[in-house]
Structure 1
């Protein structure tokens, strides 16, 4: 089974489970008339819509590149979690309003034991499916699957919170615990909806992923050759599961075009084999100048003007800057034009 097929089947699993659990929760509300249970059920309706949209986004993300989408369709996964986050925020606002009214005008809760049993059952199912989706999403580098799995985790926590409210009402007879729990769940849902929206915007706006950038830099540093004098302006963009990476690599100016081509090919293959997803990498070769002699380790360099002092250690702080790294050379020797 291909990764694309695996993603789509997991997306379908999430949709089917979400639809089934919504029915269970509304049945629990029918039995209990609990505001907390209604809050949980309303939030779960969002699961159905978002799981359906996530499944569609996984289908789109798996389509090949075309003339209109030269980098593929992977960005739609960020749109998916943004859509999910927006619906969660809307649901959270409605739940907050409804819970406030329930606190002002509380009403009795019926059959809390059945409510606790049914909500605990849905929580276990959501935790199990959420764990499967999150692990698979991280393995397959799918933000849509990870987002869907995390939403199911949140839904499970909501169900557990609603169950706790029913237990408190049954134990104390204080019906206000029901409305208070719904209010807290509304706030919890709003916060997490905002976080999903924030993650969606950061992905659509190509916010730097420092973890991936650090992996690229570490791999280049670990396999560094003397001819790879310096790297700068390193950038990583994510398109769904796929990555687009580009950087500037400073190399000896006297290398032939064939030598440069071989070095660049080796760098690109080195990074591609490091990641388990499709990587499109472009390396721009910059010719060295005499200012770079003090940090260049090329043995028997025929044009060296300054003695080697030490190599620049590439890290997240210097490799992403759009400037060449230099050590201060002796002022008596002019730089190569």
Structure 2
């Protein structure tokens, strides 16, 4: 099974589970007439729409590059998270409004025991499927699957809090526990929707993923050759699960074009071997200058003008700058 097929099957699983749990939660609301349960059920409706959109985005992200999309279709996964975050945020606003009215005018909660049983069952399912999606999403480098799984985590939390509210109402007879829990859940949902929107915007705006950049630099440092005098202006862009990397590498100016091509090919291959996703890498070769002699490890260099002093250790701080390194 291909990576794209695995992603699509996981997305379909999320959609089917979401539809089933929405039915269970609205049945629980029918039995209890609880504001907290209604809040949980409304939030779960969002799961259905977002899971469906996530499934479609996974299908698009798996399509090959074409003339209109030379970098592939992977960025649609960030759009999927933004769509999901926007719906969650809107739901949070509505839930806060509804819960506030219910807090001012509480109403009786019927059959809380059945509500607790049904919501607890949905929480267990959501946690299990959410864990599967997050783990698989991280392994497959899919932000859409990770986002969908995290949303199921949120759904599980709302179910647990709603169950707790029903237990308190049954134990104390204080109906405002139900509305208070709904108000708390509305705020929680609102904050998480905002966070997902922020993550979506970051991805669409090509915000630097420092962890991935650090991995690329660490691999170059670990596999470093004497002829790789310097690395700078390193940039990483993520297109769905795929990576686009470009950088400048300084090499001896007397290398032939064939030798430079061999070195660049080796660099690209070692980076591709490091990441379990498709990597598109463009490396620009800069000729060395005599000012780089003090940083160069090339043995028996025929044109050396200055003795070697020390190497520059490449880090996230210095390798991303658009300037060659120097002593100082």
TM-score for both structures, normalised by structure 1:
0.97
- Render the CA deviation track for 1:239-267: whole Å, top value 9, x for unaligned: 00000000000000111101100000000
Q: How many residues align?
A: 328
Unaligned ranges ≥5, structure 1: 329-337
CA distance in 2, matches of 1:264, 1:135: 34
2:324 is equivalent to residue 324 of structure 1: yes
Q: Could you list the runs of 5+ residues in structure 2 that have no partner in the other structure?
A: none
1:9 is matched with which residue? 9
The TM-score, its normalising length taken from structure 2, stands at 0.99
**Partners of 1:278 and 1:170 in 2: CA distance:** 55
Q: Deviations over 1:41-90 (max 9, x none)?
A: 00000000000000000000000000000000000000000000000000
Alignment correspondent of 1:270: 270
Where does 1:1-337 land on structure 2 (aligned, <5 Å)?
Answer: 1-327=1-327
Partner residue of 1:335? none
Measured against aligned partners, the alpha-carbon deviations of 1:208-261 in whole angstroms (never above 9, x if no partner) come to 001110000000000100100000000000000000000000000111101100
CA deviation vs aligned residue, 1:253-307 (integer Å, no higher than 9, x gap): 1111011000000000010010000000010000111110110001111111111
Given that 1:268 and 1:281 are in contact with CA atoms closer than 8 Å, whether structure 2 keeps it comes out as yes
Runs of 4+ that moved beyond 2 A:
none
On the 8 A contact 1:35/1:102 being kept in 2, the answer is: yes
SS of 1:233's partner is: strand
How many Å separate the matches in 1 of 2:269 and 2:12?
Answer: 35
Partner secondary structure for residue 264 of structure 2: helix
CA distance in structure 2 between the aligned counterparts of 1:169 and 1:144, rounded to whole angstroms: 38
SS of 1:317's equivalent?
Answer: helix
Distance between the aligned counterparts of 2:327 and 2:174, measured in 1? 73
Distance 1:27 1:56 in 2: 28
Is this contact kept in 2: 1:252–1:288, CA < 8 A?
Answer: yes
Whether the aligned pair in 2 keeps the contact of 1:169 and 1:178 (CA below 8 Å) is yes
* CA distance, structure 2, for counterparts of residue 303 and residue 134 of structure 1: 54
Q: Is the 8 A contact 1:247 1:284 kept in 2?
A: yes
What secondary structure is seen at the aligned counterpart in 2 of 1:198? Answer: helix
Native 8 Å contact 1:291 1:327 kept in 2: no
Q: Secondary structure at the match of 1:221?
A: helix
Deviation at 1:326, TM superposition (A): 1.0
Distance 2:28 2:261 in 1: 66
Please give the alpha-carbon distance, in whole angstroms, between the structure 1 residues aligned to 2:69 and 2:261: 27
